[in-house]
Amino acid sequence: MKIIGPNDQAMEAGNVPSAWSRLVRDVLTTVKIGIVNSNLMTAFTGVWLALYMTQEDFWTDAVPVLFVLIGTALVIAGGCSLNNFIDRDIDPLMERTHERPSATGKLRGKTVLIMGLTLSVTGLLALLAASVTAAAFGLLGLLVYVLVYTMWLKRSHSMNTVIGSVAGAVPPLIGWAAIDPSLNSPIPWVLFLILFLWQPPHFLALAMKRVEEYRRAGIPMLPVVAGFEITKRQMIFYVSVLVPVSLLLYFLGLVYVICALALGFTWLGIAIYGLVAKDTMKWAKMMFVFSLNYMTLLFIIMIVSTFFN
């Protein structure tokens, strides 16, 4: 019989939070918490602008706002978990994804599947409590991301990034629908279009950085099947269209217009510079990093601008 002393008890007690912290880290990695947070921000922008345009009181609509934000976070987390479950055969082939818990076996495939389905259903129910329209768009985004993008186009066609952008562009529609389920205003659709146009150059920059990994995994990203030059021109096209589309929110005031122009033309300048850049990988990293800053700053500015009107 083993006698456990005070030191052994302390060691065992010390292992508990360590094991718990590893589990939390694995779960957060599986649900892609960074993607959840960024999409939650765009959903909140949809909520905020809906409140601003309809002159509704935030506290009066606090319950649907709470449900729509919780539901959005859970649906996205569920979709990302299902994405990891489906991709656990190709994730080990890529340096960017080979340490995902679903790829290493830290979380069993069955566990990831159950987690994805549970989060998705719970999230959709929360969205339904906000409004039927919010739940409908949540379901649309989930189906496009999991079925159309992850299970089909990601492995079969270079248009995967473009079609998959539909899923990443619906959070503002979901947020707006919690306040105004009719969606009669053009504003939420402009927000959708901004995010739809933002995603291809963002993800194509990542694909250029990781082109050999995608090639090894057999994923037909545009840089893999068409080369860098065509990819660069595609990126310029999307950014050049994005700049005027972002100005459709001109009613947010001069502060927004100036910031949108500055951010847009800076990103367009970086995109065009790619045609002559000698270090393509360094340029692709620059494009990727700026795209993250562009999206974050633009949506924050949308909210901040309402305080100046």
Residue 1 confidence (pLDDT): 36
Average pLDDT of 226-253?
98
Integer Cα distance of 285 and 167 in angstroms: 24
Above 90 in pLDDT, residue 72? Answer: yes
In terms of domains, do 133 and 221 share one?
no
Q: Has residue 11 been placed in a domain?
A: no
Categorize the per-residue pLDDT at 17 as very low, low, confident or very high, splitting at 50, 70 and 90. Answer: low
Q: Has residue 4 been placed in a domain?
A: no
Q: Which residue has the higher pLDDT, 1 or 88?
A: 88
Do residues 195 and 42 touch, judged by C-beta distance below 8 A?
Answer: yes
Neighbouring C-beta atoms of residue 2, cutoff 10 Å: 4
In terms of domains, do 195 and 138 share one?
no
Above 80 in pLDDT, residue 114? Answer: yes
Residue 3 confidence (pLDDT): 42
Q: Which residue has the higher pLDDT, 8 or 249?
A: 249
Find, among 209, 201, 203, 200, the residue nearest to 268 by Cα. Answer: 201
Do residues 274 and 232 touch, judged by C-beta distance below 8 A?
Answer: yes
Average pLDDT of 12-21?
65
In terms of domains, do 109 and 231 share one?
no
In terms of domains, do 36 and 167 share one?
yes
The lowest-confidence range among 6-20, 85-99, 106-120 is 6-20
Above 90 in pLDDT, residue 254? Answer: yes
Domain total in the chain: 2
Residue 9 confidence (pLDDT): 47
In terms of domains, do 287 and 201 share one?
yes
In terms of domains, do 170 and 126 share one?
yes
Residue 13 confidence (pLDDT): 46
Residue 309 confidence (pLDDT): 81
Residue 4 confidence (pLDDT): 44
Last residue of a domain, which of 184, 213, 235?
Answer: 184
Q: Has residue 160 been placed in a domain?
A: yes
Do residues 151 and 86 touch, judged by C-beta distance below 8 A?
Answer: yes
Q: Which residue has the higher pLDDT, 269 or 60?
A: 269
- And the tokens for 7? 């030191």
Q: Has residue 136 been placed in a domain?
A: yes
Find, among 121, 152, 271, the residue nearest to 201 by Cα. Answer: 271
User: Which residues constitute the domain of residue 205?
Assistant: 186-309
Q: Has residue 12 been placed in a domain?
A: no
Q: Has residue 7 been placed in a domain?
A: no
Q: Has residue 18 been placed in a domain?
A: no
Last residue of a domain, which of 133, 163, 184?
Answer: 184
In terms of domains, do 38 and 59 share one?
yes
In terms of domains, do 128 and 205 share one?
no
Categorize the per-residue pLDDT at 139 as very low, low, confident or very high, splitting at 50, 70 and 90. Answer: very high
Whole-number percent of the chain with pLDDT over 90: 91
In terms of domains, do 153 and 299 share one?
no
Residue 58 confidence (pLDDT): 87
Residue 6 confidence (pLDDT): 45
In terms of domains, do 214 and 290 share one?
yes
Find, among 190, 176, 74, the residue nearest to 121 by Cα. Answer: 74
Last residue of a domain, which of 155, 184, 213?
Answer: 184
Summarize pLDDT for 149-159 with one digit per residue, the tens: 999 999 999 99
In terms of domains, do 86 and 135 share one?
yes
Summarize pLDDT for 201-221 with one digit per residue, the tens: 999 999 999 999 999 999 999
Average pLDDT of 39-67?
95
Average pLDDT of 56-79?
95
Find, among 190, 148, 229, 170, the residue nearest to 53 by Cα. Answer: 190
The lowest-confidence range among 3-7, 67-71, 274-278 is 3-7
pLDDT averaged over the chain? 94
In terms of domains, do 143 and 205 share one?
no
Which residues have C-beta within 8 Å of that of residue 170, sequence separation ≥ 6?
A: 137, 138, 140, 141, 192
Above 80 in pLDDT, residue 259? Answer: yes
CATH of the domain at 65: 1.10.357.140
Report DSSP letters for 116-158, one per residue. Answer: HHHHHHHHHHHHHHH-HHHHHHHHHHHHIIIIIIIIIGGGT-T
